[in-house]
């Protein structure tokens, strides 16, 4: 006899999460900082009712299963309502990146065939720039500033009133599409990644694990990472699932506004890219006793490499950085830098060496590293290769482009384009993007390692290292830095600071100071732009 499982086949879909916040966490706060800096307060019961009204109104407006509904919004309560309400109709939440150029936004809207747009009133000037190249059936405007909304648009609040909070969910299969994000596209056109209900639910459960971000009902969660970038790292969904309080920063992402918010709402977990934390670090160093944040506040940091000094400084303020690695294609959380049991016995220095690594994959995420010739590399902490991943919340294709691109292997793994080593404990350490490695005299130099080490210099705010053609060595590293106001850091300073940390052939041949390093819409160094600036660089 072949024994069969007796378990129910219960779908992993979003309506369950939306019902749950109303049933179990109705009074939990959702706080949003509005464009005028005032705080908007609501709770999960109200969010649930309004999300259901939105779902009902969208259904009455003709939105069907699989249709894309776009949002162009900052992080706040109404965006959370869209996060929950749109997928509960069976439609697809398409978050548009407001930092992209208007041409890219309209390309993405047309490629995704977005039907309806919901946007913040403060972003109407951006809509004006895409309006002629897009054709939404309806444009709904959220009145964050309380100003009149012209007749050309539908007021979000009026639109909600056309729906009912008694909305009956349609049948949704757990593999149906829930949301969509386009990659930030440092090369070529952005590509669409479509998440399913199942992938989002599983990602939320894994993110909440004690060995991941350990999110529970007592947490106060502030996603600084935008809700238009890889679902704000899944945090809105994870917080809703856990019943944790959410605090949204709106458009105010400067250090002072964020620190004020952390203190005022006693935030226990926040998340964002390193540039955000760099500015906060400066604010804290300038006024070390000004803010009292929640004890042992956690900060999930990812999206770009994090210098060790940042971990040390925040530890001294009782704010703990947890490194996370992933990408739009991986929902995005794929690995997390949490020390294993036993590692707490290591010396402080050894612990920092581990914390700067990108960590261990979450359960059900499988990784391998492969060299250019397609040979698997060993996990010895030395051999490096491209990280390839697979798992239930890793995309297996791009929207309308399938999996034929060079982004997937023939045996079904996603090629991340990140180069890494993996140590015997399974900790991933990113050394570069495949395109950013410096090849000097036949040897690979890691731009990321150099950048992190230079950014530890007390007078350096940011450092990017790029490969520049060299007549003898093929390529040599050029460091481009931004220094603190009133300071100057020369090539000799950088060399003596790096002395003993790297072999001398790794030291950058030149150091250039800029007032700002060009960045992508999601805060990564735009090395393509830097390479353009220094094309044809003459070595001194
Ligand atoms: P995105 O799809 O915009 O989220 O970008 C994903 C890319 O960001 C990855 O492929 C990495 O190159 C980079 N990245 C993400 N997390 C980290 C991290 N913790 N350290 C270094 N780079 C990271």
Q: What is the pLDDT of residues 231-242, one digit of tens each?
A: 999 999 999 999
**pLDDT value at residue 187:** 57
In angstroms, the CA 397 to CA 204 distance is 21
Catalytic-residue membership of 137: no
Secondary structure of residue 228 in the 3-state scheme: coil
Beta carbons of 249 and 33 less than 8 angstroms apart: yes
- Lowest-pLDDT choice from 146-160, 381-395, 429-443, 456-470: 429-443
- Enumerate residues lining ligand 1, CB below 6 A: 183-184, 230, 302-305, 323-328, 332, 358, 416, 418, 430, 433, 522
What would the CATH number be for the domain defined by 14-24+37-196?
3.40.50.12780
Beta carbons of 245 and 30 less than 8 angstroms apart: yes
> Which of 64, 340, 400, 439 is the catalytic position?
439
What is the tens place of the pLDDT at every residue in 59-76?
999 999 999 999 999 999
Query: What's the rounded mean pLDDT across residues 99-106?
Result: 91
pLDDT tops 80 at residue 470:
yes
Nearest-CA residue for ligand 1 atom 22 is 304
Specify the DSSP class assigned to residue 239: H
> Which of 161, 444, 484, 487 is the catalytic position?
444
**pLDDT value at residue 21:** 97
Catalytic-residue membership of 472: no
In angstroms, the CA 216 to CA 265 distance is 16
Edge-first strand order for the sheet with 414-422 is: 366-370, 385-390, 414-422, 428-433
Specify the DSSP class assigned to residue 144: S
pLDDT tops 90 at residue 464:
yes
Determine phi and psi for 48, rounding to 5 degrees. Answer: -60, -45
Catalytic-residue membership of 444: yes
Query: What's the rounded mean pLDDT across residues 242-259?
Result: 97
**pLDDT value at residue 391:** 98
Inter-CA distances, 174 with 10, 145, 366, 400, Å: 9, 37, 22, 21
In angstroms, the CA 527 to CA 518 distance is 8
Query: What's the rounded mean pLDDT across residues 74-88?
Result: 98
pLDDT tops 70 at residue 185:
no
Q: Is the dihedral of CA 359, 360, 364, 368 positive or negative?
A: positive
In angstroms, the CA 233 to CA 69 distance is 20
What distance in angstroms lies between residue 375's CA and the mean position of ligand 1's atoms? 24
What distance in angstroms lies between residue 417's CA and the mean position of ligand 1's atoms? 10
In angstroms, the CA 20 to CA 45 distance is 10
**pLDDT value at residue 437:** 80
Inter-CA distances, 437 with 168, 428, 512, Å: 53, 17, 19
The mean of the pLDDT values for the chain is 94
**pLDDT value at residue 186:** 53
Q: CB neighbours (10 Å) of residue 18?
A: 23
Listed by start position, the domains of the chain span 14-24+37-196, 366-433, 438-533
Nearest-CA residue for ligand 1 atom 1 is 327
Catalytic-residue membership of 52: no
**pLDDT value at residue 539:** 73
Query: What's the rounded mean pLDDT across residues 193-214?
Result: 98
**pLDDT value at residue 405:** 64
Q: CB neighbours (10 Å) of residue 540?
A: 6
> Which residue among 192, 300, 325 has the greatest number of ligand 1 atoms within 8 angstroms of its CB, and so is best to mutate?
325
- Lowest-pLDDT choice from 36-40, 102-106, 435-439, 526-530: 435-439
In angstroms, the CA 478 to CA 455 distance is 14
- What's the start-to-end Cα distance of the chain, in Å? 79
Global pTM exceeds 0.75: yes
Q: Closest Cα partner for 298 from 272, 279, 330?
A: 272
Query: What's the rounded mean pLDDT across residues 179-194?
Result: 84
With pLDDT > 90 as the criterion, what percentage of the chain qualifies? 81
Secondary structure of residue 315 in the 3-state scheme: helix
Q: Which atom of ligand 1 is nearest to the CA of 328?
A: 2
**pLDDT value at residue 28:** 98
pLDDT tops 80 at residue 472:
no
Stated as kind and residue range, the H or E segment containing 360 is strand 360-361
Q: Closest Cα partner for 366 from 395, 397, 334?
A: 334
List Cβ neighbours of 394 (8 Å cut-off, separation of 6 or more).
329, 330, 331, 334, 365, 414
Secondary structure of residue 58 in the 3-state scheme: helix
Query: What's the rounded mean pLDDT across residues 446-459?
Result: 90
What distance in angstroms lies between residue 322's CA and the mean position of ligand 1's atoms? 14
More confident residue, 200 or 436: 200
**pLDDT value at residue 63:** 98
**pLDDT value at residue 64:** 97
What is the tens place of the pLDDT at every residue in 315-357?
999 999 999 999 999 999 999 999 999 998 999 999 999 999 9
The token pair at 318 is 């009782």
Q: Which of 143-157, 162-176, 506-520, 522-536 has the highest mean pLDDT?
A: 162-176
What is the tens place of the pLDDT at every residue in 269-285?
999 998 899 899 999 99
**pLDDT value at residue 138:** 97
More confident residue, 134 or 476: 134
Superfamily for domain range 366-433: Luciferase; Domain 3 (2.30.38.10)
The token pair at 140 is 């709904």
Identify the CATH class of 438-533: alpha beta
Max Cα distance, the chain (Å)? 79
What distance in angstroms lies between residue 479's CA and the mean position of ligand 1's atoms? 20
């Amino acid at each position: 006899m072949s024994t069969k499982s007796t378990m129910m086949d219960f779908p992993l879909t979003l309506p369950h999460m939306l019902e749950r916040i109303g049933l179990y966490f109705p009074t939990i706060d959702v706080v949003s900082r509005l464009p005028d800096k005032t705080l908007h307060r609501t709770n999960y019961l109200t969010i649930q009712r309004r999300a259901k009204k939105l779902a009902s109104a969208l259904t009455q407006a003709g939105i069907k299963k699989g249709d894309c509904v776009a949002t162009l919004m900052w992080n706040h309560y109404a965006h959370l309502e869209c996060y929950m309400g749109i997928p509960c109709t069976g439609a697809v939440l398409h978050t548009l990146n407001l930092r992209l150029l208007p041409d890219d936004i309209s390309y993405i809207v047309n490629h995704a065939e977005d039907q309806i747009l919901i946007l913040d009133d403060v972003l109407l000037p951006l809509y004006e720039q895409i309006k002629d190249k897009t054709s939404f059936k309806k444009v709904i405007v959220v009145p964050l500033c309380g100003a009149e909304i012209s007749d050309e648009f539908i007021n979000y609040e009026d639109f909600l009133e056309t729906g009912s909070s008694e909305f009956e969910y349609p049948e949704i299969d757990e593999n149906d599409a829930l949301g969509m994000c386009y990659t930030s596209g440092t090369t070529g056109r952005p590509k669409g990644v479509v998440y399913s209900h199942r992938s989002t639910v599983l990602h939320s459960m894994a993110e909440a694990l004690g060995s991941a971000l350990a999110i529970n009902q007592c947490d106060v969660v502030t996603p600084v990472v935008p809700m238009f970038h890889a679902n704000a790292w899944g945090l809105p969904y994870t917080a809703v699932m856990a019943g944790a309080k959410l605090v949204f920063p709106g458009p105010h992402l400067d250090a002072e506004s964020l620190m004020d918010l952390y203190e005022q709402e006693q935030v226990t977990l926040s998340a964002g890219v390193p540039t955000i934390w760099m500015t906060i670090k400066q604010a804290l160093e300038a006024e070390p006793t000004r803010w009292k944040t929640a004890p042992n506040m956690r900060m999930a940091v990812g999206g770009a490499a994090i210098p060790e000094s940042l971990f040390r400084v925040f530890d001294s303020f009782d704010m703990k950085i947890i490194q996370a690695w992933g990408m739009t294609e991986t929902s995005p959380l794929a690995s997390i830098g949490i020390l294993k049991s036993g590692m707490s016995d290591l010396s402080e220095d050894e612990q920092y060496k581990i914390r700067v690594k990108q960590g261990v994959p979450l359960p059900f995420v499988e990784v391998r590293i492969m060299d250019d010739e397609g040979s698997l590399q060993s996990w010895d902490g030395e051999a490096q290769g491209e990280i390839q991943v697979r798992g239930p919340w890793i995309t297996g294709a791009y929207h309308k482009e399938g999996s034929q691109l060079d982004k997937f292997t023939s045996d079904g793994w996603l090629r991340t384009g990140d180069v890494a080593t993996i140590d015997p404990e399974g900790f991933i350490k990113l050394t570069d993007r495949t395109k950013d490695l410096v090849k000097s005299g036949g040897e690979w130099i890691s731009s990321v390692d150099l950048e992190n080490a230079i950014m530890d210099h007390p007078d350096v705010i940011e450092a990017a290292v790029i490969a520049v053609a060299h007549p003898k060595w093929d390529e040599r590293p050029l460091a481009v830095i931004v220094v603190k106001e009133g300071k100057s850091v020369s090539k000799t300073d950088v060399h003596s600071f790096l002395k003993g940390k790297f072999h001398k052939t790794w030291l950058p041949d030149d150091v250039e100071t800029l007032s700002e390093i060009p960045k992508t819409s999601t805060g990564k160094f735009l090395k393509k732009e830097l390479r353009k600036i220094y094309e044809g660089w003459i070595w001194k």
